[in-house]
């Protein structure tokens, strides 16, 4: 069965929609430049709306220990997702220091990025392959609704579980899974009506489509 992570949730309604439709993971963004940003106290309240069967993921971008610790002091997260330029050494340190499984996001645009991803296998618990963001100085590290060439990761065997992200929608996930071989999907902008505004009907349709693959 294809597992689904709905990322960038920020309202009780969207969290309930995701959990109610059967999401395996819910994601909260702790990056204040993102339109999907939530604070620790907000994330604590939202986390309380899902059962223990739904994994709660906190997304951080080049955060220091104090920032991560401040969130964990309030929000009960199950995974830390690192979506910045964290080195393998930094990923290992975060994983050890906070004693939580780590998902390392890798921006993919070419074969060299696959080689870079391999350097994170031994220090993370899960990999997440996303499209490389635009070169604009205002670009976000993720949630841009951009696709990458799924054939770049097709046929690889990884020593860690991995998720596919980047521009996924109800309309393209069948092809994405067929080409990439993904068994876990991560969506944010693909279930929104505007940046940061989740569409609960789209959330339900996306999860339903994934379950039918």
Residues assigned a catalytic role: 7, 130
Cite the beta strand spans of the chain per DSSP E: 3-6, 25-29, 55-60, 79-82, 102-108, 126-131, 162-164, 184-187, 192-194, 197-198
Q: Can you tell me the distance from the alpha carbon of 43 to that of 37, in angstroms, rounded to the nearest whole number?
A: 10
For residues 27 and 8, the answer to whether their CB atoms sit within 8 Å is yes
Alpha-carbon gap, residue 186 to 180, rounded angstroms: 14
* Residue 166 near residue 130, CB atoms below 8 Å: yes
- The DSSP result for 172-190, as a single string, is THHHHHHHH--SEEEESGG
96 Cβ neighbours under 8 A, 6+ residues apart: none
Cα distance between residue 87 and residue 6, in whole Å: 25
Residues 25 and 46: their CA atoms lie apart, in Å, by 13
Helix then strand then coil, in percent of the chain rounded to 5, is 35, 20, 45
């Amino acid at each position: 069965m294809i597992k689904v992570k709905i990322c960038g949730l920020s309202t009780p309604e969207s969290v309930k929609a995701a959990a109610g439709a059967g999401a395996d993971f819910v994601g909260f963004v702790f990056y204040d430049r993102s339109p999907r940003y939530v604070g620790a106290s907000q994330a604590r309240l939202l986390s309380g709306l899902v059962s223990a069967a739904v994994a709660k993921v906190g997304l951080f971008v080049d955060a220091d220990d104090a920032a991560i610790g401040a969130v964990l002091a309030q929000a009960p997260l199950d995974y830390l997702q690192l979506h910045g330029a964290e080195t393998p050494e930094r990923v290992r340190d975060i994983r050890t220091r906070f004693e939580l499984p780590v998902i390392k996001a890798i921006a993919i645009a070419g074969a060299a990025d696959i080689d870079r991803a391999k350097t994170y296998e031994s220090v993370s618990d899960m990999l997440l392959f996303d499209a490389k963001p635009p070169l604009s100085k205002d670009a976000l590290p993720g949630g841009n609704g951009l696709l990458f060439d799924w054939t770049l990761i097709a046929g690889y065997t990884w020593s860690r579980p991995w998720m596919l992200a980047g521009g996924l929608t109800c309309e393209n996930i069948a092809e994405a899974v067929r080409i990439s071989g993904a068994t876990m999907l991560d969506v944010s902008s693909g279930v929104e009506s505007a940046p940061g505004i989740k569409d609960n009907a789209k959330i339900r349709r996306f999860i339903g489509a994934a379950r039918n693959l």
